[in-house]
Amino acid sequence: KAGVTQTPRYLIKTRGQQVTLSCSPISGHRSVSWYQQTPGQGLQFLFEYFSETQRNKGNFPGRFSGRQFSNSRSEMNVSTLELGDSALYLCASSSGTAPLVPQYFGPGTRLTVL
């Protein structure tokens, strides 16, 4: 069974630019959630999508957005990048049944904002 895949694995951007990250969940999983991991703040929940609908959202500014496609693949977009957006972005996939507990995380996308 293939795991959660994320692309790209590494990304370097400059302030003010925008970025799109992609996540493919485990086959059959309908829930995809996104997290930001930094040394200072730890792992923070961004949002969760289930069947193409955003089901829950964390406390991040509107510059962070996402979407999910009919095949459950998900993208996350960050606009007007700031230095503080440098982080490891993880997505996780779950079957989607309650409770919301991500089961399998991808390897992450390391975003560096210069």
Partner 1 sequence: QQQVKQSPQSLIVQKGGISIINCAYENTAFDYFPWYQQFPGKGPALLIAIRPDVSEKKEGRFTISFNKSAKQFSLHIMDSQPGDSATYFCAAVYGQNFVFGPGTRLSVLP
Q: Residues interacting with partner 1, by CB under 8 A?
A: 4, 33, 35, 42-45, 48, 55-56, 90, 92, 99-108
CB of residue 37 to partner 1, shortest distance in Å: 9
Coil vs helix vs strand at 14: coil
> How distant, in Å, are the alpha carbons of 23, 24, 36, 37, 42 from that of 109?
10, 13, 10, 10, 15
> What is the rounded distance in angstroms from the CA atom of residue 36 to the CA atom of residue 34?
7
Query: Sheet holding 74-78: strands in order across?
Result: 5-7, 19-24, 74-78, 64-68
CB of residue 14 to partner 1, shortest distance in Å: 25
CB of residue 113 to partner 1, shortest distance in Å: 21
Closer residue to partner 1 in complex, CB, 80/103: 103
Helix/strand/coil (H/E/C) assignment for every residue in 75-88? EEEECCCCHHHCEE
CB of residue 70 to partner 1, shortest distance in Å: 22
Closer residue to partner 1 in complex, CB, 45/60: 45
Closer residue to partner 1 in complex, CB, 79/100: 100
